[in-house]
Amino acid sequence: LAKTTQPISMDSYEGQEVNITCSHNNIATNDYITWYQQFPSQGPRFIIQGYKTKVTNEVASLFIPADRKSSTLSLPRVSLSDTAVYYCLGELIFGQGTELSVKP
Amino acid sequence: GAVVSQHPSWVICKSGTSVKIECRSLDFQATTMFWYRQFPKQSLMLMATSNEGSKATYEQGVEKDKFLINHASLTLSTLTVTSAHPEDSSFYICSARRTGEGSSPLHFGNGTRLTVT
């Protein structure tokens, strides 16, 4: 199962774009890359999923290079409510996640 | 759509007793569900894969006789923590994926906070 590596924490300010990169060197050929957001004492919430290149939805963009060994979650114009832990998954295994702190 | 519901959201029990946690997929069928455990300030750890109509598959280091999993229908999986001890106190989260959609995202419940006194 794919193991992922992310920065442990990131700080940002309201209105900024935040990019969180995840390394997944041994992701399986068939696995999609999925990003989740988790608030304290809640289950993870789906943000976005992709296989290759770029995917965009109403809340985020996901960039995946051709070799698929990494992916970058892009959150445009973050707000205080985006303060949370963000996880990337290759399949079922969670990495340590990135704790994003958005300041006013 | 794709809502996963867990019950109870929190439970306090005495050491030595058993606790059952339910995980339901409300608007879709899920042949497979997954149980995770999360300790404070840590990531989610996969405990087991629950398979409808067959035995669960447990991750290395997870005691199958202590964490009993039953997946009796396509919308319900239960996790029973038997003979609970204080070290079993944790946040238990289930997830499910629509049957037949192997590449679709996992949908997570809101977790169950178990406190063993």
Give per-residue pLDDT as tens, B27-86.
999 999 999 999 999 999 999 999 998 899 999 999 999 999 999 899 999 999 999 999
CB contact under 8 A, A44 and B46: no
- At residue A103, the pLDDT reads 97
- At residue B87, the pLDDT reads 96
- At residue A2, the pLDDT reads 59
Main-chain dihedrals φ then ψ at residue B58, nearest 5 degrees:
-100, 145
Asked whether the beta carbons of A103 and A81 are under 8 A apart, the reply is no
The share of chain B scoring above pLDDT 90, in percent, equals 85
- Taking CA–CA distances from A43, the nearest residue in chain B reads B110
Asked whether the beta carbons of B23 and B96 are under 8 A apart, the reply is yes
Kindly list the residues from chain B whose CB atom is less than 8 angstroms away from the CB atom of residue A41: 91, 111, 113
| Residue type (1 letter), B33 | M
Kindly list the residues from chain A whose CB atom is less than 8 angstroms away from the CB atom of residue B105: 32, 34, 46, 49
- At residue B79, the pLDDT reads 97
CB contact under 8 A, A41 and B111: yes
Residue to mutate among B43, B46, B47, with most A CBs inside 10 A, is: B43
The residue to which tokens 């199958």 are assigned = B64
Which of B43, B49, B93 comes nearest A96 by C-beta?
Answer: B43
**What b/e readout covers B87-99, taking b as 16+ CB neighbours within 10 angstroms?**
ebbbbbbbbbbbe
Which segments in chain A show pLDDT lower than 50? Answer: none
B105 part of contact set with chain A, CB < 8 Å: yes
CA atoms lying within 13 Å on the CB side of residue A19:
7
- At residue A90, the pLDDT reads 82
Peptide bond into B8 cis (omega under 30): yes
List pLDDT tens digits, range A87-98.
999 888 898 999
